[in-house]
Amino acid sequence: MRIIICIFAPAFLFTSIFAQRRRPVFTCGGNFTGDTGLIGSQGYPGVYPPNNKCVWRITVPQGRVVSLLFQVLDLESDHLCRYDYVDIYDGHINGQRLGRFCGTARPGRLVTNGNKMQVVMVSEANTAGSGFLAAYSAIRPNERGDRYCGGHLDKPVGTIKTPNWPDRDYPLGVTCLWHIVAPQDQIIELKFEKFDVERDSYCRYDQVAVFNGGEMNESQKIGKFCGDSPPVPVYSDGDHLLVMFISDLSLTADGFIGHYQFKQRTLSTVSAPLTPASTSPPTTRPMALTYSEDLCKQKCKRTGTIESHYCMSNFVITATLISAAMRDQSILATFSIMHLYKEGSLAIQQAGKTMSTKVTVLCKNCPLVRRGLNYIVMGQTNDQGHGVISPLNFVMAFKAKKQRDLGVLKNIRC
């Protein structure tokens, strides 16, 4: 007689064993190819190891681009991402960084311009969290979707904005590229509604650069912008406009929101290259940038108006004179800036929320300025970005009622 003994194990036991066998093992980096895949920090979902650097290189088929979407992000949190972080690059070698991430706030979809992406995770001595889990896929170029930033835009009207807008400051270490494409018989108008990007006299750090065409070609650059003054409206020469936003790994700010629309091509809407101050070069301007006896012998009488001098001036500020020191026949004045209406290439020092600048008053008696008083200062800058004012420039005592007039002039296109 044959005896059959059946042993029944709980169903959850088999499910658990099966799940353990199916769970992928995540190692420190690697090379990944194919249309889709999953990458994760070493040991995920366990705590990632300290003092580590891992590199994942993703390659999808030619003709496609890489899309990466974080499913989990759990790294040590720091507002500057100085300790543990994940960097995403467009390409494998010398690629442009698409973003740096830490903490638990997951970004939107990150998309490359080519078929390669590099993911780098760095951890320091003290770690906290399970790391990250991300899915990659091969998608068609210019495929629409919820992107972290940038993308291909071809609708008649649209909006571009920095990541996190308007809830919090834009993140560190990000590059965004918006490629706007209009019909062949139209051009593109871009207006910034709000604008606040880390200030620097030459926009060397965080910046917005706008190019004619679809490539970052210096010869086709329309302008490079930073600071807290919205640039004047930008117009493309043709039917393509490329907008690039870059932030470095130091300071951040509110960011920007801008709106574009397609317009019929007319001669009046073709834009000339702009200066870094977001204004067109004036057609005429006082050129006295050095001291001369003849210049300072002129009768010290202010001519013209605020309006007539605004476009001729490289910079326009309201400011308090806080110090003045003799330099030969001139005065080196330090102004604490109350409001910046036109920055030009003026070198500005910033400490916290306080901005100041140094200006050479070529003729010590014209214009006559005194410490502790407030002024409207319209002047020029030399090749080093130093402010210069002479009897040919417009300087007057600042009164509150002039603030409205200056605010109106700030929005004109010279």
Per-residue DSSP letter, 18: H
Q: Taking Cα atoms as reference points, which of 244, 235, 114 lies closest to residue 182?
A: 235
| Residues 6+ away with beta carbon under 8 Å from 35 | 60, 61, 64, 137, 138
Task: Give the lowest-confidence range in 142-146, 159-163, 332-336.
Answer: 142-146
Mean pLDDT across the stretch 13-30?
65
Do 101 and 176 lie in a common domain?
no
Q: How confident is the model at residue 414, as a pLDDT?
A: 60
Do 177 and 92 lie in a common domain?
no
Do 99 and 51 lie in a common domain?
yes
Q: Is 145 inside any structural domain?
A: no
Do 157 and 122 lie in a common domain?
no
Domain coverage including residue 162: 151-269
Instruction: For 39-53, give the secondary structure using H, E and C.
Output: EECCCCCCCCCCCEE
Number of domains in the chain: 3
User: Is residue 125 very low, low, confident or very high in pLDDT (cuts 50, 70, 90)?
Assistant: confident
pTM of the predicted protein model: 0.56
Q: Is 286 inside any structural domain?
A: no
Q: Is 283 inside any structural domain?
A: no
Q: How confident is the model at residue 62, as a pLDDT?
A: 94
More confident call, 347 vs 208: 208
Do 179 and 69 lie in a common domain?
no
DSSP string, 227-274: BSSPPPPEE-SSSEEEEEEE--SS----EEEEEEEEEE--GGGPPPPP
User: For the domain that residue 231 is a member of, what is the CATH number?
Assistant: 2.60.120.290
| Domain termination residue (choose one: 99, 116, 139) | 139
Share of the chain above pLDDT 70, in %: 88
Q: Is 284 inside any structural domain?
A: no
The amino acid present at 114, given as its one-letter code, is G
pLDDT digits (tens, 9 = 90+) for 238-294: 899 999 999 988 888 999 999 999 998 764 444 444 444 333 333 344 456 788 888
The span from the CA of 225 to the CA of 162, in Å, is 14
pLDDT digits (tens, 9 = 90+) for 321-370: 998 888 888 889 999 999 888 888 888 887 767 888 899 999 888 888 88
pLDDT digits (tens, 9 = 90+) for 295-327: 888 778 777 788 888 888 889 999 999 988 888
Q: Is 17 inside any structural domain?
A: no
Q: How confident is the model at residue 35, as a pLDDT?
A: 95
Q: Taking Cα atoms as reference points, which of 275, 77, 278 lies closest to residue 197?
A: 278
Do 265 and 301 lie in a common domain?
no
More confident call, 145 vs 91: 91
Do 128 and 162 lie in a common domain?
no
pLDDT digits (tens, 9 = 90+) for 373-402: 999 999 888 877 789 998 888 898 988 888
Do 161 and 209 lie in a common domain?
yes
Do 71 and 173 lie in a common domain?
no
